[in-house]
Amino acid sequence: MDPTVTAAIELIAPRLRRAREKKGTTLVELSRATGISTSTLSRLECGQRKPSLELLLPVIAALGLRVDEIVASPRVLGPPRDGRLLVPLTRYQGGPRACKMTIPADDDEPRPRTHTGHEWLYVLRGRLRLVLGDRDVVLGPGEAADFDCRTPHWFGATGRGPVEVLSLFGGQGERIHVRARTR
């Protein structure tokens, strides 16, 4: 079987069981509500049956769930690059992209680079060293920076532990507009 399909089954099967049990519904009750045999439902929950849309949609509807509660999975952009873990927070293509980035503490040698676009960084946890042109600053939790990526830049963890950062990146130079006061 395709590894992608196997991974999907491994994620979906336990989610179906947990969702059904959380609702306090038995397999027999779910079978009556969906018209799907209890045997098939049991195999779906054990990962022994491929979770096709034909089977999933009635089950999800009967349990009062959204499709993404069962099907969606956290996505990681490829293997960690230089030890950095990137988890996308946006699902659409085009426009600014958001991701959560975890940078290990041992990534402290600046290697500035340039590219097109505009980036906004917000520190969630830890301390972030940002080298931007001839400036070298350290940001802590709750602090943010935004910059044109054509300026030589590098950022990494500083301190004893990793740093977690929210990143918004616009490939075409879009800027993040911060509203300073309410109307």
Domains of the chain (ranges, CATH numbers): 3-71 (1.10.260.40), 85-170 (2.60.120.10)
pLDDT reported for residue 176: 53
Residue ranges in the chain whose pLDDT is less than 50: none
pLDDT reported for residue 127: 93
Q: What H or E segment, with its residue span, contains residue 6?
A: helix 3-23
The sign of the dihedral angle between the CA atoms of 147, 152, 157, 159 is: negative
Cα 49 to Cα 22, 25, 56: the distances in Å are: 21, 20, 11
Integer Cα distance of 64 and 153 in angstroms = 47
pLDDT reported for residue 79: 56
pLDDT reported for residue 143: 92
pLDDT reported for residue 177: 53
pLDDT reported for residue 71: 72
pLDDT reported for residue 153: 93
Q: Which residues pair with 132 in a beta bridge?
A: 135, 153
When computed from its CA atoms, the radius of gyration of the chain, rounded to whole angstroms, is 22
pLDDT reported for residue 93: 61
